[in-house]
Amino acid sequence: MPTTVAQYCINVSDLERSIRFYEDVIGITVRMRVEGDGITEVMLGGDGGGQMQLARHDDHDGPIEHGNALLKIYFTVDDAVDMCRRVAEGGGEIESQPQRLEKWPATMAFVRDPDGYLIELLQVHDD
């Protein structure tokens, strides 16, 4: 079996708020929920095969310290303009409005989730 990237995990400050954001705004769905010793983890995924894991530690309160290890989370979307609207209405922030790229047939935007994680949205065009 070839090696693939299966999923990645981010810590969140409010698990239910993050689930609502990634399900209702981004459009990926909960596939599994696991509660362990002091941590709850939720796996979400879309039709493309990759997954995202949200983790909430019981002994942590307040904002997440991002450090500098994770640059961005990347999603391909059907409509970058509509997705930015949904992000703004769903508790996220718009970092940069959708822009059509000159060298590639794509529109790109950057947004932040409720915990401040940077998300790149990429809409690929047919031309």
pLDDT tens across the length of the chain (127 residues): 677 777 889 999 999 999 999 999 999 999 999 999 999 999 999 887 789 999 999 888 888 888 888 899 999 999 999 999 999 999 999 999 999 999 999 999 999 999 999 999 999 998 7
Beta strands 7-11 and 51-57 are: parallel
Encoding tokens for residue 4? 């693939």
Instruction: Judge contact between 44 and 29, C-beta under 8 A.
Output: yes
Is residue 13 classed as helix, strand or coil in its secondary structure?
Answer: coil
Indicate the class that CATH gives domain 7-59+68-124: alpha beta
Q: Classify strands 39-45 and 51-57 as parallel, antiparallel or unpaired.
A: antiparallel
Tell me the sheet residues that pair with 114: none
Number of neighbours of residue 44 by Cβ within 10 angstroms: 22
